[in-house]
């Protein structure tokens, strides 16, 4: 009778492609048959037997005891949106780390436009390594607890840990092929890497192809797309515009200019051969000699092109969560519903707030996961809800710090997450998406 209730509940609105109840039942049936009949059977895992209508998330991110970043920013909002969430903390620190130099101006990183945001003077804690992460995964698997609908990852500080995360993706998809992997590729911001340089190539070559949704900021999108945005843009639009997009490598511009002249004046075959030669040479040089140089996204068209490149690499959904263009702050989203088809792309204008907040990127990705699960075919709608929630939370944070007599521009601000739960559950949509033609 109990089994029929479970199955009836699952059939009403199944969030899984494979029944988690059946999966657990099949995995346990042999072991249970060997238990002494007089022994009491263990209780079912209700998160699997009676799953939430939204899903079950494994979240691998950082954690601080004080403050809201990483899992502290992501778990609670996802639970408010109806998910069962199991967090694994990639690091566990007492508080935020270090200090940060940021700029209020979108188009300049000159020293006079920067201001210093003070964090805590020290921190203590532990860092999880790849072997320890895999121990946790093996423990879950040994107890038949490894069925998830979503995987969410954020800050990862080492190549070995990131490679273990890739093993986790493979393991979870071997159990549930329909797993949605939402990746926030935390690499850096404002032109500065937070992580070792070698992580960039691992993300670009191994992580992006297996992600379902990617949520980079502007700097991270530049890092992940590499030279290709520049090459595509120049070939399509000619070499007369945007030569400042690459920090160095002007010889590459000259070679490309020469190729374009050949294409205009020479034979088609000669042009094609020269183009292949130059293209491969430039990519080889940048791959092995200019590691760390990246494309600048300077326009909305650049942002859309970056999304297209990331789609071609793997994820069907890409949201560049913040782009500074000519003094304006934008979110640019892109949803490729079918491979080979042009994506639906949109923008949302976001107000600039003269303050620095911690954990907003982690929160944004969690909200995008939650709302895109409810509106799987309308990423623009999910982004409207996520941005509206976030902006209401930031407004409350500013208001509360000001009420307490604090200068909001003098230090980083801890977001008022708990106090904003109504804005997370039922946001009023104040920020609308504009669909690109």
Do 20 and 163 fall within a single domain? Answer: no
- Euclidean distance between CA atoms 143 and 132, whole angstroms: 17
Q: Which domain holds residue 241?
A: 229-288
Using DSSP's 3-state secondary structure scheme, residue 19 falls into: coil
Q: CA-based Rg of the chain, rounded to a whole angstrom? A: 24
For residue 334, being part of any structural domain is answered with yes
pLDDT at 373: 96
Number of domains in the chain: 3
Last residue of a domain, one of 288, 311, 331: 288
- Secondary structure (3-state) at 58: strand
Same domain? 337 vs 407: yes
If asked whether residues 42 and 149 sit together in one domain, one would say no
> Is 296 inside any structural domain?
no
Domain check: are 235 and 276 in the same one?
A: yes
User: Catalytic site residue 131?
Assistant: no
- Do residues 166 and 251 share a domain? no
Whole-prediction pTM value? 0.76
Q: How far is residue 361's CA from residue 365's CA, in Å, rounded to a whole number?
A: 6
**Are both 162 and 215 inside the same structural domain?**
yes
The burial class, CB within 10 Å (0-12 / 13-18 / 19+), for 92 is: middle
170 by Cβ neighbours in 10 Å (0-12 / 13-18 / 19+) ranks as exposed
- CATH code at 368? 3.40.1190.20
Q: What is the DSSP string of 222-286?
A: HHHHTTHHHHHHHHHH-TTS-GGGBSS-HHHHHHHHHHHHHHHHS-HHHHHHHHHHHHHHHHHHH
Residue 149, phi then psi, degrees to nearest 5: -90, -25
Residue 291 pLDDT: 43
Q: What is the Cβ-side half-sphere exposure of residue 215, based on CA atoms within 13 angstroms?
A: 23
Q: Would residue 295 count as lying in a domain?
A: no
- State the catalytic residue, choosing from 362, 377, 380, 423: 362
Alpha carbon of residue 166 to chain centroid: 15
Contact in structure between 348 and 330 (CB atoms under 8 Å)? yes
Is residue 221 located within the same domain as residue 272? no
Q: Residue 142: its pLDDT value, please? A: 95
Q: Are residues 384 and 270 in the same domain?
A: no
Q: Are residues 175 and 257 in the same domain?
A: no
pLDDT at position 274, please?
Answer: 65
Q: The dihedral of CA 70, 71, 72, 73: what is its sign?
A: positive
Identify the domain boundary among 257, 288, 319.
288
Beta strands in 66-149 (DSSP E): 84-93, 100-103, 114-117, 125-127
Distance CA 124, CA 335 (A): 41
pLDDT at 108: 32
Is 83 a member of any domain?
Answer: yes
Q: What are phi and psi of 46, to 5 degrees?
A: -65, -30
Quickly count: other Cβ atoms within 10 Å of residue 206's Cβ: 14
Q: Are 214 and 97 contained in the same domain? A: yes
Rounded to whole angstroms, the Cα distance separating 172 from 423 reads 32
98: in domain: yes
Domain check: are 255 and 370 in the same one? Answer: no
| Cα(80)–Cα(414) distance, integer angstroms | 19
Does residue 293 belong to any structural domain of this protein?
no
For residue 294, being part of any structural domain is answered with: no
64 and 103 share one domain: yes
Per-residue pLDDT of the chain (437 residues; tens, 9 = 90+): 444 444 443 444 444 455 665 555 565 555 444 444 445 667 777 777 777 778 999 999 999 898 899 999 999 999 999 999 999 999 888 887 754 433 332 333 333 334 444 467 788 888 999 999 999 999 999 999 999 999 999 999 899 999 999 999 999 999 999 999 999 999 998 888 989 999 999 999 999 999 999 999 999 999 999 744 444 444 444 433 433 333 333 344 444 555 555 555 556 666 667 666 666 665 555 444 444 445 688 999 999 999 999 999 999 999 999 999 888 899 999 999 998 899 999 999 999 888 888 899 999 999 999 999 999 999 999 999 999 999 999 999 999 988 988 888 777 888 999 999 999 999 999 999 999 98
Q: Is residue 171 part of a domain?
A: yes
Domain end: 259, 288, 317, which one? 288
């Amino acid at each position: 009778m109990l089994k029929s209730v479970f199955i009836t509940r699952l059939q009403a609105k199944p969030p899984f492609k494979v029944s988690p109840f059946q999966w657990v039942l099949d995995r346990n049936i042999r072991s249970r048959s060997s238990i002494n009949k007089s022994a009491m059977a263990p209780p079912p895992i209700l998160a699997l037997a009676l799953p939430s209508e939204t899903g079950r998330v494994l979240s691998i991110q950082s954690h601080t005891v004080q403050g809201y970043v990483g899992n502290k920013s992501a778990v609670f909002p996802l639970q408010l949106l109806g998910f069962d969430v199991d967090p694994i903390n990639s690091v566990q620190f007492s508080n935020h780390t270090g200090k940060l130099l940021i700029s209020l101006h979108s188009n300049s990183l000159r020293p006079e436009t920067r201001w210093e945001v003070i964090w805590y003077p020290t921190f203590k804690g532990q860092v999880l390594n790849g072997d320890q992460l895999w121990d946790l995964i093996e423990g879950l698997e040994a107890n038949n607890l490894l069925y998830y609908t979503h995987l969410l990852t954020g800050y990862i500080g080492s190549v070995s840990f990131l490679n273990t995360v890739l093993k986790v993706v493979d393991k979870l998809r071997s159990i549930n092929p329909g797993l949605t992997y939402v990746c926030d590729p935390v690499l850096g911001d404002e032109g500065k890497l937070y992580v070792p340089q070698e992580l960039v190539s691992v993300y670009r070559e191994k992580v992006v192809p297996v992600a379902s949704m990617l949520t980079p900021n502007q700097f991270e999108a530049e890092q992940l797309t590499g030279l290709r945005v520049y090459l595509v843009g120049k070939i399509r639009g000619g070499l007369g515009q945007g030569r400042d997009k690459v920090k160095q490598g002007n010889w590459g511009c000259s070679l490309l200019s020469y190729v374009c002249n050949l294409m205009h004046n020479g034979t088609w075959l000669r042009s094609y051969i020269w183009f292949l030669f130059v293209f491969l040479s430039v990519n080889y040089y940048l791959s092995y000699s200019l590691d760390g140089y990246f494309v600048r996204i300077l326009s909305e068209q650049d942002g859309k092109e970056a999304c297209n490149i990331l789609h071609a690499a793997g994820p069907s959904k890409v949201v560049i969560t913040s782009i500074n263009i000519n003094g304006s702050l934008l979110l640019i989203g892109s949803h490729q519903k079918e491979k080979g088809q042009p994506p639906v792309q949109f923008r949302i204008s976001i107000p600039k707030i003269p303050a620095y907040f911690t954990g907003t990127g982690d929160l944004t990705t969690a909200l995008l996961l939650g709302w895109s699960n409810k509106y799987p075919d309308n990423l623009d709608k999910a982004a409207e809800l996520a941005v509206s929630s976030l902006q209401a939370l930031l407004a409350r944070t500013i208001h509360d710090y000001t009420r307490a007599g604090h200068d909001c521009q003098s230090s980083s601000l801890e977001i008022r997450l708990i106090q904003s739960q109504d804005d997370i559950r039922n946001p009023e949509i104040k920020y609308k998406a504009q669909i690109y033609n």
